[in-house]
Amino acid sequence: MGERPNFLFLITDQQRADWLGCYGHPVLKTPHIDAIADSGTVFDNFYVASPVCMPNRASLLTGRYPTVHGLRYNGCFLPRSAVTFVDLLAASGYRTASIGKSHLQPFTGRAPLMPVTDEGASHGEAWWRSDDDYGQEEPDHYGSDGRYVFETPYYGFQHVDMVTRHGDRCGGHYEQWFRERAENWRDLYDSANELPHNYSSPQAYRTPIPEALYPTAYVRDRTIDYLTAQNDKDQPFFAFVSFPDPHHPFNPPGRYWDMYRPEDFQNRLPYQAHRNPTPPMRWLHEQWRIGGSQMTPETAMMASDEDISQVMALTAGMITCIDDAVGDIMDCLKQQGLHDNTVVCFNSDHGDYLGDFNMLFKGVSPFAGITRVPFIWSDPDSRRPTRTGALASTIDISASILSRVGLEPYAGLAGKSFLGNLDGTAGLRDDLLIEYNDNGARLGFEAPARVRSLVDQRYRMTIYTGQDWGELYDLETDPDETQNLWDSAAHDEVKARMSLRLAHHLAGLMDESPRAQRRA
């Protein structure tokens, strides 16, 4: 490895692995992200630590599972005492920046699904809400004119340009910038001024906000500003560039709205394709049949094939909008003479069912649509197209970046460096753990679901705490996960072996820091 490189880490929100041209999508066009893949390593088996925004983003930064780092479900927060790999980069002389969505602290101001009732938890809630260290992403800071002065370092980031929420009405520094540049911003934010369209799918909204003022353009432009300012070539940088799309609502701006046609997309995996649906799947199907409503706009739901085709077309428009922004960012990187010493990564924080078994969004069922995400690593030391089948996880990112820089890992880092797999080598780990913790009782569960999955090169096994049923899928013979083998006597040995491996993973979930300073 050569001199310490810069890092440009590009990440999207709620994008499946198979929704990129370089991952084989037959319709979606992503030439600029594909170009990064053509000069780097594409990971075909990259999984999240948790298929939810906040827990997985915290796992990316800490290299720890949600059970350990503490941000276990959306609406919680990552303790400011948590050590991140960005802390180590900054301490070693890197300039560090977070541009776009961070989501390490709550950003809606809405009450949680489960009200805090016991006295101890109430005191805890009052403590962190009274401390600005845990409220910097909340909307109250961005309601006034000007620019909120963000307190840094923020989990290791020295520069923060914050974007919160989703869709065309994001918050944070973007919201303040938007109000300054759009004199008619109230009209643009008024749902009565939605542009005409004939879409009927859930959360389809044709925004009147022009492309140049849309959040994707904001993230692009602030990133270009940051790269342009990197004049000191002797001090490397780490830029975490986070787009809030293609997360719903489905509102691609301008020309991206009708760039793709719904009739060009088919739902390949209808509900009927699953031979023995699990209880939450059956619950969702029944709610759909009787016209039930979602608990929240983010809760998983089912939709018709027609609606799903519309959602797919709009999602494709949002992704191509991001791809064009990535192209502009990469052009800037090259124009500034930075490309030849910059590691470029592309990733997403989790996926979306996006029609699998007629489901949308994300939820308790850990199908590959929400747990398998794109990951591309393009390194200046080897700009050649490579693919690897290595099982890798979000928790491995921190260990890999630290290894690339030549920094020792910190205590409690659970990830493994995948630098040895960049040449296409498959071996990294035999299996990996995926956690899911709900923050409310929904989808037919009487209590918030606690779900643990083990994935190896052939099977995915999932247990649901307190339930007498589970999931087991043979990913070799059934890659779409359409037949649950949990009750198959022929697979009892497989289930027993994976249960033991899962038990070992769970037994190892302990933060090894701080270490003992005395014998007793």
High-pLDDT (> 90) share of the chain, % = 88
Q: Is the pLDDT of residue 425 over 80?
A: yes
Task: State how beta strands 6-13 and 237-246 pair.
Answer: parallel
Mean pLDDT of 469-492: 98
Cα–Cα distances in angstroms (integers) from residue 127 to residues 77, 122, 440, in the given order: 13, 9, 22
68 vs 506: CA distance, rounded Å: 11
CB 210 within 8 A of CB 253: yes
Tokens of 384: 């050649």
Give the chain's end-to-end CA distance (angstroms, integer).
Answer: 43
Q: In what order do the strands lie in the sheet with 375-378?
A: 171-172, 159-164, 95-101, 237-246, 6-13, 342-348, 375-378, 41-47, 386-393
Residue 121: the pLDDT is 52
pLDDT-wise least confident of 50-54, 276-280, 424-428, 514-518: 514-518
Mean pLDDT of 51-80: 95
3-state secondary structure of 143: coil
Amino acid at 514: P
pLDDT at 110: 75
Residue 127: the pLDDT is 42
Predicted confidence band of residue 125 (pLDDT cuts 50, 70, 90): low
- How far is Cα 399 from Cα 405, in angstroms, rounded to an integer? 10
**Residue-level pLDDT at 151:** 93
Span 43-71, average pLDDT: 97
Mean pLDDT, to the nearest integer, of 429-451?
Answer: 96
250, amino acid identity: F
pLDDT at 233 (0 to 100): 77
Find out whether 346 and 319 touch, Cβ atoms under 8 Å.
Answer: no
What does the alpha-carbon distance between residue 468 and residue 465 come to, in Å, rounded to a whole number?
A: 9
How many angstroms separate the CA atoms of 211 and 190, rounded?
A: 17
CB 444 within 8 A of CB 280: yes
Q: Return the closest-CA partner of residue 196 out of 184, 207, 211.
A: 207
Q: Rounded CA gap, 299 and 312, in Å?
A: 18
What is the distance between the alpha carbons of residues 245 and 166, in angstroms, rounded to a whole number?
7
pLDDT score, position 1: 44
Query: Could you give the CA distance from residue 417 to residue 121 in angstroms, rounded to a whole number?
Result: 37
Ordered by start, the domain boundaries in the chain are: 6-113+137-430
The neighbouring-strand residues paired with 388 are 43
Residue 217's H or E segment, with its range, is helix 215-228
Full strand arrangement of the beta sheet holding 470-474? 431-437, 450-456, 459-464, 470-474
Helices (H), 455-520: 492-507
Q: What is the pTM of this model?
A: 0.96
Tens digit of pLDDT for each residue in 135-160?
Answer: 899 999 999 999 999 999 999 999 99
Beta-ladder partners of 299: 362
Kindly indicate the confidence band of residue 117, based on its pLDDT and cuts at 50, 70 and 90: low
Distant-in-sequence contacts of 508-516, Cβ < 8 A, 24+ apart: 508/414, 509/65, 509/67, 509/68, 510/68, 511/64, 511/68, 511/69, 511/412, 512/411, 512/412, 513/83, 513/410, 513/411, 513/412, 514/411, 515/411
What pLDDT score does 416 carry? 97
Band of the pLDDT at 3, cuts 50, 70, 90? Answer: confident
Q: Is the pLDDT of residue 130 over 50?
A: no
Using alpha carbons only, how large is the chain's radius of gyration in Å?
22
Q: How confident is the model at residue 115 (pLDDT cuts 50, 70, 90)?
A: low
pLDDT for residue 2: 53
What pLDDT, on a 0 to 100 scale, did the predictor assign at position 516? 82
pLDDT at 259: 98
DSSP lists the bridge partners of residue 45 as 391
Instruction: Compute the distance between CA of residue 121 and CA of residue 134 in angstroms, rounded to an integer.
Output: 16
- Whether 28 has a pLDDT exceeding 70, the answer reads yes
Is it the case that residue 180 has pLDDT exceeding 60?
Answer: yes
111-115, 235-239, 448-452, 470-474: least confidently modelled range: 111-115
In angstroms, what CA-CA distances link 465 with 56, 284, 422, 438, 507? Answer: 20, 20, 37, 12, 15
What DSSP letter does each residue of 15-79 carry, written as one string?
Answer: --TTSSGGGT-SS---HHHHHHHTTSEEEEEEE-SSSSHHHHHHHHHHSS-HHHHS--STT----
Consecutive H or E run containing 162: strand 159-164
Q: Mean pLDDT, to the nearest integer, of 344-363?
A: 98
Distance between CA 161 and CA 358 in Å, rounded?
Answer: 37
CATH of 6-113+137-430, one of 3.40.720.10, 3.10.129.10, 3.90.79.10, 1.10.3210.10: 3.40.720.10
* pLDDT on residue 483: 98
The token duo for 219 is 């993230």
Question: In 257-374, which ranges are E strands?
Answer: 301-302, 342-348, 359-360
What residue has token string 């502009």? 328
